[in-house]
Amino acid sequence: MNNFPPVQRRLIVNADDFGRSSAINEAIIRAHREGILTSASLMVNEPACDEAVALARENPRLAVGLHLSLGMGRSALPPEEIPGLVNADGLFPSNPVRLGWRYFAKPSLRGQLYREVAAQFKKFRATNLRMDHVNGHLHLHMQPVVFRMLADNAGKWGITHMRLTREPLRPGFKAAGNGRMLKMLEILMLSWLARRQRRILKRIGIRHTQAVFGQWRDGRVDEDYLLRLLPLLPLGDSELYSHPSMSEFKHEFDALISPRVRELAERLGIHLIRYRDL
């Protein structure tokens, strides 16, 4: 008989896009206070960022990480400093596949990319919030050029925990319901990247969960999905990411504060944690 503790099921429940709008900020704070949300990822370039930081300070148990924005959002640097990345209004393009290929195929952009990433970390440090984790809008933190940049500068930028986006096919597929085949290619591609990147994160001491859920139902995380997913969670540490809002994605907010969801998590013995608890 060994003395090792039994393996538990632990779950980080994260909200992306913190700081993008007041409607999102309100949903995140209420889902944390009233529901199962344990962490949020901050977009430091978006218009409601200062409001999000003030709310985070009022709710110190909410863990806050950096939601690195390199697509479908605003830049930290002015457009004239990174003309190869953004348009004249400082906006990144929105297609993640084209962006990923562009960052890979054009080495001439890497200097601009490094300066923009560094600027976003600098803006996060200026909030004086503890950086709980790092991930990327549209999962672009896993694009090979961006990932290598993060890994090479982890010490300088204070990266200790990162989202390694890998959704296990069987439970994710089973819980997702209708429309699940549309996400298959993206899930397989990110899983392939994750297998290669896991070894690098282990070597440099950056912690991550074994599984990440939410891709199958991106923008459609509702109560029924969570009630199907929770019993299927694997042993060990997982993350569920979501996009709650009081407007566009109110169904995600409703799911996160659902008494049925909370009661099921408690009945299944699922421990709700943050990245810093890994």
Residue 170 has pLDDT above 90, yes or no: no
Residue 5 has pLDDT above 80, yes or no: no
CA distance 245 to 206: 30
- Across 161-179, average pLDDT: 77
Beta partners for 109?
A: none
Closest alpha carbon to 165 in 139, 202, 143, 184: 139
Residue 116 CB neighbour total at 10 angstroms:
22
SS3 content of the chain, % helix, strand, coil (to 5): 50, 15, 35
Mean pLDDT of the chain: 93
3-class SS of residue 150: helix
CATH superfamily of 9-277: Glycoside hydrolase/deacetylase (3.20.20.370)
Q: Residue 50 is encoded by which pair of tokens?
A: 């200062």
Cα dist. 251→77, 122, 212, 246 in Å?
A: 34, 34, 20, 9
Binned at pLDDT 50, 70 and 90, residue 188 comes out as confident
Can you give the residue ranges of every domain in the chain? Answer: 9-277
Binned at pLDDT 50, 70 and 90, residue 1 comes out as very low
Q: Given this model, what pLDDT does residue 178 score?
A: 57
Pairing mode, strands 211-213 and 236-242: parallel
Q: Residue 252 is encoded by which pair of tokens?
A: 């995600």
